[in-house]
Structure 1
């Protein structure tokens, strides 16, 4: 159910719903769970403690500053949830020992360099600096560690005003 609340912004009142479009929201509003295209469902700012800010509105598009620092355009018709995602301090929680992590279902991470060649493309590399002989790759052979994988002519490049740092 959508709940309504009156919040005072400067001179007048702004009728705010939990989920609404950016046309209803004043500038500087904090929001999360933002749609990129109308009707697809929320895709932006969904992690614990994430929040995006509404910077500007012009024409049919709104400018948002995302948690990554990226500034991008989104249609004003897209839905978003007002406020910040909960569980802000999830990263500060110390699990204490390996067993606590196992209880959460997180398995140990084994480096590819220490595997055999049948298990990983970087397996059985000899010598101490481990990434000298072969280029760093994922277990499936794709480039890793710094190689850019985003397409150069991606369709959404025109909507990104400033890239993340």
Structure 2
């Protein structure tokens, strides 16, 4: 493929099947090729190396305007199988770490947490010494 080509449905490992840039409207760009590896700019903004043997599809994924579509009412969302989102502060303490406090501004005392008690909003969850760290040239924004 020539440099600057827009691609999607990219394999990590040859023969494993496409895993990168598969969402609606997603695309990656081929920046450089050197030796057995190619440099890609992924939809997240990350720049990483991929083997040149890996397969990909030329072009951008369709259905670009899926996020601009107005559902109109709550029932339309239910038909798509999307469950209602409930704030943790509206729950009981048994259901969520934020639950059970009567005042609205409760997160001044507590750290934001997931329903399972893990830190949320700003904590990095990636492993510090992951095997693929050497393949990432620039982290996502």
- TM-score with structure 1 setting the length: 0.82
Q: 1:104 maps to what in 2?
A: 80
Going by fraction, where is strand more abundant, 1 or 2? Answer: 1
Query: Structure 1: which 4+ aligned runs deviate by more than 2 Å?
Result: 125-128
Q: Does 1:95 pair with 2:71?
A: yes
1:125/1:133 contact within 8 Å kept: no
Greater Cα offset, 35-44 or 72-81: 35-44
Q: Which structure would you say has the larger Rg?
A: 1
Q: 1:39 maps to what in 2?
A: 15
Q: Matches of residues 116-135 of structure 1 in structure 2 within 5 Å? A: 116-135=92-111
Q: Structure with the greater relative contact order (CA < 8 A, sep ≥ 6): 1 or 2?
A: 2
Q: Secondary structure at the match of 1:91?
A: helix
Q: 2:124 maps to what in 1?
A: 148
Q: Runs of 5+ in structure 2 lacking a partner?
A: none
- TM-score with structure 2 setting the length: 0.95
Q: 1:6 maps to what in 2?
A: none
- Count of aligned residue pairs for this structure pair: 141
CA distance in 2, matches of 1:134, 1:93: 36
- The CA deviation at 1:81 is 0.9
